[in-house]
Amino acid sequence: MKLNNQVAIVTGGALGIGGGVARKLAREGSKVLIVDIAEEEAKKNKETIEENGGIAEYLIGDVALESVAKEMVDLSVSLFGRLDIIVQNAYGGLGAGSAVDINIKDWNKGLNLLVGALYLGAKYAVPAMEDSGVDSNFIPKQWKGFGLRQGNPPKENIGRIINISSVHGILNAPKSIVYETGKSAVIGMTRQMAVDFGPLGITVNAIAPGHIVTERGDDQWKKVGNNEGFRLFELQYPVRRTGTPQDVANMISFLCSHEASFITGQTIAVDGGLSVQLQEDLVMDLKNFISTNKNLRTHFDKEDKSRDRW
Ligand SMILES: NC(=O)c1ccc[n+]([C@@H]2O[C@H](COP(=O)([O-])OP(=O)(O)OC[C@H]3O[C@@H](n4cnc5c(N)ncnc54)[C@H](O)[C@@H]3O)[C@@H](O)[C@H]2O)c1
């Protein structure tokens, strides 16, 4: 197990990507504190982790609030004795539209959750990680090896911050000023935190997932009731499939492990190659599929008018 004796906070850890991350970190030996606004789902995920031999607890609260950011860090230390990892993943209820469409209340609320909560999480988590220090079981044996110059002992293992961005932080969809601005800010914030906290022994990385089918996403696709729409989505990915929470969780558990202690400030796309392919080729490749599936529908169809591109 990669993360024995580690303690992790996962925000939005009840469902979806965060739910999968909480389960994976627990499987790798970490104790996990789930922080979420969805009580029933948080409790259910904690129970699933325990049924599989892991250790988890949950806290109900809105991570955009400073009081909750402080409480989750205090609770991690009081319950589990330390804090090593924070995965900042929670999101929901954002307004959609351009700068003209979005009112100031929705703008502030959205950015408070997408960006502000991550600043608050780090603000309280970093001192707790420093106080926790390096877990002696986590010091890598190979550090001493090979007769080569190794530099200082592995202070890198004091802490890990993982911020969840999106392919929407790298590429922009129309009429999404709140989400796209927030997710690109996460990339800049991750670089800044990496520079600030590297000397303390804390690495900070971001993940940019592509389309990940979660419990909620699956419900949306079921409502569409047209498998061709989902197939169209898959065809846009070089690997010809969309992602799962496990795909993201696997990358996060690697970044939290000792093996990743020299990686910081990076945004890693877990997107099946979506963000590296040339868009004009993609459109040409997909045109046959679209023209031969006359009844094609996707979960975006209801938004067609507001998304008018022509
Ligand atoms: N699913 C995707 O395709 C996808 C793609 C790229 C990026 N992402 C990012 O991944 C992260 C998770 O997305 P998801 O699809 O798993 O979402 P989801 O809606 O399935 O889960 C989000 C979780 O966050 C919780 N939450 C919402 N607001 C909260 C708040 N204020 N405080 C605490 N908890 C809160 C929800 O209750 C839920 O458990 C988000 O940051 C999202 O932007 C998702």
Which long-range contacts link 294-298 to residues 24+ away (Cβ below 8 Å)? 295/226, 295/228, 296/226, 296/228, 296/229, 296/232, 297/224, 297/225, 297/226, 297/228, 297/229, 298/224, 298/226, 298/229, 298/230, 298/232, 298/233
What's the pLDDT band for 197 if we cut at 50, 70, 90?
Answer: very high
Q: Is residue 52 part of a domain?
A: yes
Average pLDDT of the segment spanning 256-271: 94
Q: Is residue 252 part of a domain?
A: yes
Q: Is residue 281 part of a domain?
A: no
Atom of ligand 1 nearest to the CA of 183: 43
For residue 217 and ligand 1, the question of a CB distance below 6 A is answered with yes
Interatomic CA distance for residues 5 and 113, integer angstroms: 30
Helix (H, G, I), strand (E, B) or coil at 57: strand
What's the pLDDT band for 253 if we cut at 50, 70, 90?
Answer: very high
pLDDT of residue 145: 52
Residue 307 has pLDDT above 60, yes or no: no
Cα(89) to centroid(ligand 1), Å: 6
Q: What is the pLDDT of residues 114-163, one digit of tens each?
A: 999 999 999 999 999 999 988 766 665 555 555 666 666 556 578 999 99
Q: Is residue 221 part of a domain?
A: no
For residue 5 and ligand 1, the question of a CB distance below 6 A is answered with no
pLDDT of residue 294: 81
Cα(140) to centroid(ligand 1), Å: 33
The C-alpha torsion from 78 through 264 and 250 to 160, rounded to 10°, is 0
User: Considering the chain, what is the average pLDDT of its residues?
Assistant: 91
- Identify the residue whose C-alpha is closest to ligand 1 atom 15: 16
- DSSP 8-class letter at 205: E
- Identify the residue whose C-alpha is closest to ligand 1 atom 17: 16
Q: Is residue 175 part of a domain?
A: yes
Q: Is residue 95 part of a domain?
A: yes
- Identify the residue whose C-alpha is closest to ligand 1 atom 33: 36
30 contacts 48 by C-beta, under 8 angstroms: no
19: domain CATH number is: 3.40.50.720
Q: What angle do CA 53, 54, 60 make, to 5 degrees?
A: 135
Q: Is residue 302 part of a domain?
A: no
Q: Which amino acid is at 79?
A: L
pLDDT of residue 117: 98
How many DSSP H helices and E strands does the chain contain?
Answer: 10, 7
Q: What is the pLDDT of residues 220-241, one digit of tens each?
A: 888 887 888 899 999 999 999 9
Q: Is residue 305 part of a domain?
A: no
Q: Say whether 179 is catalytic.
A: yes
Cα(91) to centroid(ligand 1), Å: 4
- Identify the residue whose C-alpha is closest to ligand 1 atom 30: 62
22 contacts 32 by C-beta, under 8 angstroms: yes
- DSSP 8-class letter at 102: S
The count of domains in the chain is: 1
For residue 165 and ligand 1, the question of a CB distance below 6 A is answered with no
Strands 159-164 and 85-88: parallel
Q: Where do runs of H (alpha helix) occur along the chain?
A: 16-27, 39-51, 66-80, 104-111, 117-132, 177-197, 215-224, 227-235, 245-256, 279-291
Q: Which residues constitute the domain of residue 23?
A: 7-146+154-215+242-276
For residue 252 and ligand 1, the question of a CB distance below 6 A is answered with no
For residue 38 and ligand 1, the question of a CB distance below 6 A is answered with yes
Full-model pTM: 0.94
Interatomic CA distance for residues 152 and 160, integer angstroms: 19
Q: Which amino acid is at 230?
A: F
Cα(135) to centroid(ligand 1), Å: 30
Q: What is the pLDDT of residues 43-86, one digit of tens each?
A: 999 999 999 999 999 999 999 999 999 999 999 999 999 999 99
